Structure 1
Amino acid sequence: MRAAKSAGDLPGNLPGAGIGDAPVYERSTQGIPAAERLDYWREDVLRRMEPREVLTPERPFSARLRRISGRDAELVEHASDGLVADRTAARCARDGWDDIGIDLMIESSHAVLEQQTALKVRPGELHVVDYARPVRVVRSRHRAVGLIVSRARVQDLVGPDLTVLSGVRVPVQGLALLLASHVRTTLQALSSLSAAERGLAVNAATDMACAVLQAHAGTLDADRFAAGFYAAALQLIRRDCSDPSLTPTLVALHLGCSRAALYRAFARQGHSVAASIWAARLERAWAILHRSDHAHLLVSEVAYACGFLDHSTFDRMFKKRYGLSPRDARGQGQQMRAAQMDDL
């Protein structure tokens, strides 16, 4: 059995960069002679799947790949022209790759995944691929992201038999919805993230993915993935904090865990769920008060837009958090923008 290799094990990548560095490895067909591109992609870039056919032979094949390494996992973004690729039983036996992939299709007009059964893959959907088993994909021009986790880690979660996960569609709801959102956000912000932040983002995605796999297999133990639930909860809170009805109970309900398990996950990080909700609301209010395109809003309207139903409570909590009133914070923002204009 072979565990998931780091990107640094692959030919052509920068030497000496370890998982702790969370390096970003990029490959593309740009600069490769048109007649050699598919062979290059097959032999030097893809490690598990083997391209068999290009669906648009009338034009040169074009593809791009980005890989980020984390703890026990890799986040791989693949974009290319339409192709047919497979992983045969002979290749499975020969190369020993046996990881588990959770794939998110981002863009594609037509895609099919065949493992155990044939599934039509639509943008926004999550699917699980067992690389120890034969698999075939047909994809039009597409962009997809795969989180590849070591088989040993997944078996530790759901048991030795992973048949229940092979080639299945995972409903994009609850924790799976947050996982998909987290992966998208990580890729969008990739150029602005430090190495440490990239590592944290991939590790958080891995913890969420493991919890998703456990839940799909019916063996979910929220306490084992407290870090994943914590990361997912923070993402949900930041997204929905403007809703005044958001409570710890609703957060737990959206994540599919008990309220007690959620409280324990936050306690391990030295935080509380309720305090994190209020903090997210205050941070959103601070950002709005410092933006010129929201200068027309009354302070009371900002409070309401950030989940506060009582203006006096908003004023009191804001001043306690930032040491100045919301009105003074807006004035500070105006002064900072004026100073930036003077420097131009």
Structure 2
Amino acid sequence: MKTQWSTSAYAVDDRAEAIRQTIRDRVVPVHIALPERPEDVYCEVSITGVGRVQLSTVRANPATVERSLRLAAADWEPCLFLSLQRAGTSGVVQDGRAATIRPGTLGCYDTRRPYTLLFDGGVDTHFLRIPVAELGLPDAVLGDVTARVLGGDGASVAALGASCLSRLAAVPDLHTGPAAEHLARATLELVRAVIADACDLEVAARVAREESLGPRILEYLRRHLTDRDLTPGAVAKAHHISLRHLYAVLAREGVSPGEWIRRQRLEGARRELAGPGARRDTVAAVAHRWGFTDASSFGRSFKDAYGVTPRDYRDRPHG
């Protein structure tokens, strides 16, 4: 649904509140500081959607827009905004950084944290709103590009993005019809490319390492499962992280390391005890091979897990 809106449709004294309500209800809940004199308040807004991407164009008098900590913490779909300056300049402040956005460049901010937008010379800007979930990018990558100038170099990916987004905003007929869904997907891919190109490579590498840390630790545990000195502390040391970090990483994988090691060792011992050559070794020898130092505790754990002693399990027929 497209919205074409102007303060000219409202009585002078109602315009400020009409602006605030339209932006709050259709774009994002924010506080907007406007000129004190009602006759100085004006605004024109065009809002449309391309799939899950919302595109709005705003022309208005000087204003300051603030998303407070309270609003950022409210139950509202997390979104990333890209602002494309049409004329003049604007400022964006977030995450302890500030950037001045000029025509042809992009600014970026995240609704999950407080931010301030400064339009001291008036508003003449396109705004692209994208749900964070649609981007599928790590928070650390998104956080690296907030309140930074994206573009300004004619050869950069961000410059290409600014040009394409400007064209998208200028041609409303592109937003509907059979090609709109494909255009929405292409727009998301373009925004991902802009962010990836602007993201600090060290940050991106760190994010990639952190995201792969859980699977890498689990693979390490599998390879060293029969080591009797395999403990959470030893695993943390092998990966150059703290024990606390180890537990946090594996919690994201739904794993408690001590319990996971014990369960996997029991399963390995159970498979060996069911094998054709199991009778050639004692139960204690099998337990020892799978990292258990105490045959008695192994026997108790095995029975708790499988309802039968290791010896009885070994001696029963296994088809």
TM-score (norm 1): 0.51
Give the secondary structure class of the aligned counterpart of 1:195.
Answer: coil
Q: Indicate which of 26, 42, 48 corresponds to 2:4.
A: 26
Give the secondary structure class of the aligned counterpart of 1:107.
Answer: coil
Q: Deviations over 1:154-211 (max 9, x none)?
A: 3x23356632122222134432212111122222222587533455444422220111
Q: 1:176 to 1:56 in 2, by over 3 A?
A: farther
Provide the rounded CA distance (Å) in 1 between the counterparts of 2:106 and 2:73. Answer: 26
Q: Check the 8 A contact 2:91/2:98 in 1, yes or no.
A: yes
Q: 1:193 to 1:126 in 2, by over 3 A?
A: closer
2:134 aligned partner: 153
Cα root mean square deviation, aligned: 2.6
What code does the residue aligned with 1:44 have?
Answer: T
Q: 1:189 to 1:169 in 2, by over 3 A?
A: same
Q: Indicate which of 92, 96, 100 corresponds to 1:120.
A: 100
Q: Deviations over 1:139-160 (max 9, x none)?
A: 0222111221111233x23356
The percentage of aligned residue pairs carrying the same residue is 15
Q: 1:208 to 1:192 in 2, by over 3 A?
A: closer
Provide the rounded CA distance (Å) in 1 between the counterparts of 2:134 and 2:173. Answer: 29
Q: 1:193 to 1:99 in 2, by over 3 A?
A: closer
* Structure (1 or 2) with the larger CA radius of gyration: 2
Q: Find out whether 1:62 has 2:39 as its counterpart.
A: no
Provide the rounded CA distance (Å) in 1 between the counterparts of 2:194 and 2:106. Answer: 11
Q: Find out whether 1:103 has 2:83 as its counterpart.
A: yes
Q: 1:32 to 1:86 in 2, by over 3 A?
A: same
Q: Find out whether 1:214 has 2:196 as its counterpart.
A: yes
Q: Deviations over 1:222-257 (max 9, x none)?
A: xxxxxxxxxxxxxxxxxxxxxxxxxxxxxxxxxxxx
Provide the rounded CA distance (Å) in 2 between the counterparts of 1:167 and 1:98. Answer: 17
Q: Where in structure 1 are there 5+ consecutive unaligned residues?
A: 1-22, 221-344
Q: Where in structure 2 are there 5+ consecutive unaligned residues?
A: 206-319
Map of 1:68-147 to 2, 5 A cutoff? 68-108=48-88, 110-115=89-94, 116-139=96-119, 140-147=121-128
Provide the rounded CA distance (Å) in 1 between the counterparts of 2:102 and 2:156. Answer: 19
Give the secondary structure class of the aligned counterpart of 1:30.
Answer: helix
What code does the residue aligned with 1:32 have?
Answer: Y
What code does the residue aligned with 1:43 have?
Answer: Q
TM-score (norm 2): 0.55
